[in-house]
A = this chain, B = another copy of it.
Amino acid sequence: MILDGVLKEGDPLPSVRKVAAEFRVNPLTVLKSYQELVDEGLVESRRGLGMFVVEGARNLLLDGERQRFLEEEWPRVQEVIHRLGLSADDLLNNAPRRSKPRKKGSG
């Protein structure tokens, strides 16, 4: 939500209790997740008021997630792509060039 701009910097996060109710989950579970955001320096907690998106959170998140994605997730995704014999073409255009025709349409 922060990355997508749904939550701007300074905005309050939906309250622990509301999220807990909406997802039928224990408030403690929500709180713990929110605390992780605090630990990452993205969110700050103001007792009695709520939890708020920190100034600069979006850039911090963007940089951090970019790094994590490029160094950890993407390499693994690339391995999978390679293992499955997929091509960049297959993935980007919804119109794959006619490659080797498949034996059968399986379903």
Contacts and interface: CB of A to CB of B under 8 A. Distances in A.
Q: Which of A81, A89, A92 has the most CB of B within 10 A?
A: A92
Contacts of A49: none
B73 A80 contact: yes
A83 to B, nearest CB: 5
B86 A66 contact: yes
Interface residues of A, number: 23
B69 A86 contact: yes
Q: Which of A70, A83, A86 has the most CB of B within 10 A?
A: A83
A3 interface: yes
3 pairs of A and B residues whose beta carbons are closest in the complex: A88-B92, A3-B83, A66-B84
